[in-house]
Structure 1
Amino acid sequence: MGSMAARTDHAVITDVAILFTNPKDTEPESPTLGWTRIDKDLYLRRGKARAAWLCVQSKKKEHLSSEDRVVIQVAVADSNPGWAWEQRPLGVWILRREVGQSTSESFVTELDVLYGTDAVDPRPGWTIGRTAFQLDLPADVPLARLTVRHGPAKPKPDVTLAPRLDGSFKIVQVSDLHFGTGPGICEDAIDTNGELLPAFEADPASVEFVGRWLDLEKPDLVVLTGDQSEFGKTPDTQTAIFKYTAPLIRRCIPFALVFGNHDDEGPPSLPRAAQMALLQTLPYCVARPGPDDIDGVGNYYLQIGTVSSQHIPLVLFFLDSHNRLPAKGEVYDWIKQSQIDWFNTVSQDLKSGLDQNPLAMGFIHIPLPEYNEPGLIVTGGHRREEVMSPRFNSHFYDALAAEGVAALSCGHDHVNDYCALRPASKLGPWLCYGGGSGFGGYGGYGGYHRRVRVFNVDTRTARLETWKRVEYCKEKVDELVLVEDGAVVPPAQNPKL
């Protein structure tokens, strides 16, 4: 299920109803003329006897008369909230007033449905109710909750990506959160001594863990490198998207992302294009769908503005690494030639329009085959599990090297968290892993603490350094200088080792 809010642009809601249908109907009947159905089954497709749909009646604001009655409050409650409230099924109550008795800012203009005790709505002007719809469902089914917007939609804030006055630009990479609909369960976390912890709610722990490092590092950009949500645990994708973006929106941190193989792994997950469209409506999202004529969704770049001519331009590339190949198990798709051609064209065009070559980085989800090469010089972390890369090599690495990209960072293999170089005469790009950040994804492999990766760029000196922030560790972990004066620094010469 996706974002199916009752969209009433330039309109206000005049009534609310619940439509019940047969749960076996793949295309439920349309509501009566003049009504709009929010396309989310309140029973989350788990109702044995019926499905239920929230419906709204609306009217354009300019067509309202002073005698028209409009909805000024909607709530889900166990009992009557007060005088003049009208009851609807499943614990829904509405309060209406004549237009002349209320201000337009008090009019309810949009309703939506999210699921689970940990559901949040990060959209400005929206308020999610604490009480769930009154539904007879098993305890393991996340209950539907109502979220309400009053007044017109709030405009998205303008976002400018630029180095700080000292020339620095900091990126926090968060990978493999594996959020679901509902809080989920983590059963493989360990304490500071490596002892297995009792099972606990996964997604709230991930929110707290990531938020702790965001508050400490105060990044200029967060990059989410795929598997933000988890197939099989996410019957409502919108709920998961709102949960993983809320900590960023609340802190006013711009964020970019790429999708992972689990983000849209079959129905009922939203397709990538629909997810990207939803994400682009959210404040501080700088991700883009990318050109329609190349493979994948989310092939784009961000150029970080320079403070002055004394600063090296910084360019970040984001590419869709696709999914598993159909009916082939753990065999993964590869970066396509159309994507490589796009990258080459953009990189060369950018260089031709700049006074000096930029410092460039890339982000993907599934690692390239080069991450799995024998003889790879691994540093600043560990290879704890097999590298799950495509078997076919489309040689995107060669394109990155030819264009002088300094570093590529991925996710996917949760307990790999190293950076590495190929033993070649031309050094770079660095091949880094972010390391798994979410408690909803697997850890294990003899004990693993969740982590995030930090990249800090000094655009005055073309220096790129990285470190990790790890559970239970107060200090930076595995600090590395990846680039100095625009040149890749080999491990043997690394001042941080």
Structure 2
Amino acid sequence: MFRNRRILLYARRFFLVWICFLFITSWSLIQRHLKNWLVQAPDLKLSGSLQDTGIKVRDVRISKCYSWFSNCDAIWDYSLQDDLVTWYRIDMGKMQDTSIGQGFGWTSYVYWQPLYPNERGSAVVDLALSRNGLPLGLANERYNKIKNNDIDGYHVHSNTDNEFYVKDDSSNRFNPDMKWSAKFGNHLEDWFWRGDGIWCKYGRRSNGIKEIKAFIGEDFIESRPMWKEMVHCLHREGYSKPISISFQKSRLDDFTYGKEKDLSQISEPSLVMKRADFKILQISDLHFGRHIVSDSRKEKPDSIFRYDWPNVQFIHSVIRNERPDLAVITGHIFKDFNKNLDYESQILKMVSPIISNGIPFLFTWGEPQVTTEFKVNILNFIKSLPFCLNKFDLKNSTYLMLPLLLPAKTPGSQKQIGTIFAFDSNVTESYNFLDKFPRSPQSVYNLAFQHLPLHEYRPQGSFALIGNYEQKGSLDYIPHTKAFRNLLGEKDIKAISCGHEHGNDCCVLSDGKQQNLKNNMWLCYGGVTGYDQAYESKVRIFKIDTEKNDITSWKRSIKDTSKVSDYQYIWSRTLNTQ
């Protein structure tokens, strides 16, 4: 009996010691959970965009947010120096789910730690993904060093006294084997494993990353100057689509873009001719984002987005052949838009051939299924892109008036020779927008673009047309456009071009006498640029030639981009074809 009591007493003491030991060793974890439960992390308050605040990225990691945390957009977690600091989820304002994984009571996200302008320390200057072995970025650096016979390229591990280690999240222990470093010249630039496949490279804050964005899907294309896409994707358990990561660096010199890719080059709402001719590329009805369903976890990953890639390459090929000065996207860029579609990824894929070639572009609406809330977000994102001219429209619309100017021989001597209009397909609003601009006698090369056709695209009797005209159904769903069509003529607009009807890629001559209108005008279709099983993908090009004093148009198709079809005169001062 006495012996059993002693055993029970020792067991109790051992249990208390074990509890105390467990509490002491787990105190940091307990403290983190308690603080996330009881104290809400401060919001990231910005006076402007994140790019303009001077804030850099101090660190990046994947962390779990538990259901009892007060907030998952901002959490308390440990830094490299073991301080409990605030970490922010990348793309906090994104409506789509960018979580990396889920479990019972937790969801994991990619978080970043800010380095404020008044703080000292290193910043993350590069990111890479590699779950096995060295990341591609470090492997390339080592290859270049070895290729140049630099002995530092052979140094793989560094175990100096002043190096610091990161925690291995899987075991919650310090693990020096998880660190790889390389010494280059007079600088010690280190790659650190941050868990779950993320590697961070640290350096001077002047070279630090300014912003990190997440995109859903592996079909993401990064073409923006100053931005860099991580080579590999973050695969997510339970999801068919991985997360692609892109980040904005501080210096243009870190990229292969030329100095001409200056984001500030388009500073005024006008177009300046660089030579005697000016080409406009019309892209319409791309319908990107196919095979998207409401619940992405139930979707099979086979054949996702297979229709989009050929059309991106098609636009690339046309740009190489034509070298346009302006790209006009006349709507309907999404296929079956829904709240789970990552519209940012699809838009960047759409404009990648345009941005990578430094071409100014504008966009007009043609998305009837997109709600007003999403329209504002989509348009704001498009306006933020480099070379986008929609930023000069201060309203949440896509109405634009862009003067076409000759190069200035002396400061302030630019002469307007034409005008490019973009409309939002609302007839009343389009009429009011156009009516407020007086007609300039010197502006003769005038063109207009929108998504929906006018009623006058259905002339009666015999009429001239060039191209395919297969869809001839009623346009009663569009309000009457006769007054708007007459106003286009009064403003001396030589042609208007639309999208919407995939079976039509022609230009129809709107005869003023036959339709009881004030003048003749070519009404053109751009054709469908995206995938359509029934119709061949096409684009339309307009060319303004100040030496020949004419406007011409033609098309290129995905079947053979080296050939043009349906070449025609839109207007000629010499031939007076209008």
User: How much does 1:137 deviate?
Assistant: 3.1
In 2 relative to 1, CA 76–388 (structure 1 residues): closer, same or farther, beyond 3 Å? farther
Residue 305, structure 1, aligned to residue 391, structure 2: no
Q: SS of the residue aligned with 1:315?
A: strand
Residue in structure 2 matched with residue 113 of structure 1 by the alignment = 214
Residue in structure 1 matched with residue 241 of structure 2 by the alignment = 142
Contact 1:466 1:482 in 2 (8 A): yes
Residue in structure 1 matched with residue 427 of structure 2 by the alignment = 335
Contact 2:455 2:480 in 1 (8 A): yes
Contact 1:288 1:299 in 2 (8 A): no
Residue 54, structure 1, aligned to residue 54, structure 2: no
Task: Select 1:290's aligned residue among 393, 412, 421.
Answer: 393
Contact 1:290 1:298 in 2 (8 A): yes
In 2 relative to 1, CA 95–482 (structure 1 residues): closer, same or farther, beyond 3 Å? closer
Residue in structure 1 matched with residue 355 of structure 2 by the alignment = 249
Letter in 2 for 1:174: I
Residue in structure 2 matched with residue 329 of structure 1 by the alignment = none
In 2 relative to 1, CA 464–247 (structure 1 residues): closer, same or farther, beyond 3 Å? same
Q: Which has the higher helix share?
A: 2
User: How much does 1:158 deviate?
Assistant: 1.1
User: How much does 1:115 deviate?
Assistant: 2.6
Letter in 1 for 2:492: G
Residue in structure 1 matched with residue 176 of structure 2 by the alignment = none
Residue 272, structure 1, aligned to residue 363, structure 2: no
User: How much does 1:28 deviate?
Assistant: 5.0
Residue in structure 1 matched with residue 186 of structure 2 by the alignment = none
Q: SS of the residue aligned with 1:413?
A: coil
Aligned equivalents of 1:458, 1:205: Cα separation in 2: 31
Q: SS of the residue aligned with 2:505?
A: coil
The worse-fitting range, judged by mean Cα deviation, of 229-238 and 217-226 is: 229-238
Task: Select 2:87's aligned residue among 35, 52, 75.
Answer: 35
Task: Select 2:512's aligned residue among 424, 447, 468.
Answer: 424
User: How much does 1:76 deviate?
Assistant: 2.4
Contact 1:90 1:134 in 2 (8 A): no
Contact 1:429 1:488 in 2 (8 A): no
The number of residue pairs the alignment matches comes to 431
Per-residue CA distance 1:259-288 (angstroms, 9 max, x = gap): 2126x7249xx7333333322332222224
Q: What TM-score does the superposition give when structure 2 sets the normalisation length?
A: 0.66
Counterpart mapping for 1:115-134 below 5 A: 115-134=216-235
Letter in 1 for 2:88: T
Letter in 2 for 1:36: Y
Residue in structure 2 matched with residue 216 of structure 1 by the alignment = 321
Counterpart mapping for 1:63-82 below 5 A: 63-65=118-120, 68-79=121-132, 81=134, 82=179
User: How much does 1:16 deviate?
Assistant: 2.2
Contact 2:543 2:551 in 1 (8 A): yes
Per-residue CA distance 1:430-482 (angstroms, 9 max, x = gap): 1100001112xx241xxx22111111112345411111112334432111111
Per-residue CA distance 1:396-448 (angstroms, 9 max, x = gap): 22221222211000011122101112333243321100001112xx241xxx2
Letter in 2 for 1:60: Y
Contact 1:72 1:107 in 2 (8 A): yes
Task: Select 1:161's aligned residue among 271, 278, 285.
Answer: 271
Contact 1:405 1:428 in 2 (8 A): no
Larger Rg: 2
Contact 1:15 1:57 in 2 (8 A): yes
Task: Select 1:18's aligned residue among 52, 59, 62.
Answer: 62
User: How much does 1:360 deviate?
Assistant: 1.4
Aligned equivalents of 1:92, 1:201: Cα separation in 2: 28
Letter in 2 for 1:430: W
Q: Which has the higher contact order (CA 8 A, sep 6+)?
A: 1
In 2 relative to 1, CA 377–289 (structure 1 residues): closer, same or farther, beyond 3 Å? farther
Letter in 2 for 1:123: R
User: How much does 1:75 deviate?
Assistant: 2.4
Q: What TM-score does the superposition give when structure 1 sets the normalisation length?
A: 0.76
In 2 relative to 1, CA 93–199 (structure 1 residues): closer, same or farther, beyond 3 Å? closer
Aligned equivalents of 1:210, 1:298: Cα separation in 2: 22
Q: SS of the residue aligned with 1:53?
A: strand
Contact 1:222 1:255 in 2 (8 A): yes
Aligned equivalents of 2:472, 2:102: Cα separation in 1: 42
The worse-fitting range, judged by mean Cα deviation, of 356-365 and 49-58 is: 49-58
Letter in 2 for 1:340: Y
Aligned equivalents of 1:289, 1:51: Cα separation in 2: 40
In 2 relative to 1, CA 468–41 (structure 1 residues): closer, same or farther, beyond 3 Å? closer
Aligned equivalents of 1:235, 1:155: Cα separation in 2: 30
For structure 2, the residue ranges without an aligned partner over 5 or more in a row are 1-48, 77-84, 135-178, 182-190, 253-260, 294-302
Aligned equivalents of 2:576, 2:510: Cα separation in 1: 12
Residue 228, structure 1, aligned to residue 333, structure 2: yes
In 2 relative to 1, CA 182–14 (structure 1 residues): closer, same or farther, beyond 3 Å? farther
Task: Select 1:151's aligned residue among 225, 250, 256.
Answer: 250
Per-residue CA distance 1:40-84 (angstroms, 9 max, x = gap): 4885589775654322111223x233xx34323332221353516
Contact 2:284 2:528 in 1 (8 A): yes
Contact 1:41 1:52 in 2 (8 A): no
Per-residue CA distance 1:300-333 (angstroms, 9 max, x = gap): 1111112489987110100112xxxxxxxxxxxx
Q: SS of the residue aligned with 1:210?
A: helix
In 2 relative to 1, CA 392–21 (structure 1 residues): closer, same or farther, beyond 3 Å? farther
Residue in structure 2 matched with residue 379 of structure 1 by the alignment = 465
Counterpart mapping for 1:326-365 below 5 A: 334-336=426-428, 338-346=429-437, 348=438, 351=440, 356-365=442-451
RMSD, aligned CA? 3.5
Residue in structure 2 matched with residue 435 of structure 1 by the alignment = 527
In 2 relative to 1, CA 376–199 (structure 1 residues): closer, same or farther, beyond 3 Å? farther
Contact 2:99 2:109 in 1 (8 A): no
Per-residue CA distance 1:216-255 (angstroms, 9 max, x = gap): 1111111111112333477111111111111111112221
Residue in structure 2 matched with residue 396 of structure 1 by the alignment = 484
Residue 237, structure 1, aligned to residue 312, structure 2: no
Aligned equivalents of 2:490, 2:406: Cα separation in 1: 24
Task: Give the percent of matched residue pairs that are identical in Structure 1 and Structure 2.
Answer: 23
For structure 1, the residue ranges without an aligned partner over 5 or more in a row are 97-101, 185-197, 322-333, 491-497
In 2 relative to 1, CA 200–116 (structure 1 residues): closer, same or farther, beyond 3 Å? closer
In 2 relative to 1, CA 201–307 (structure 1 residues): closer, same or farther, beyond 3 Å? same
Letter in 2 for 1:393: H
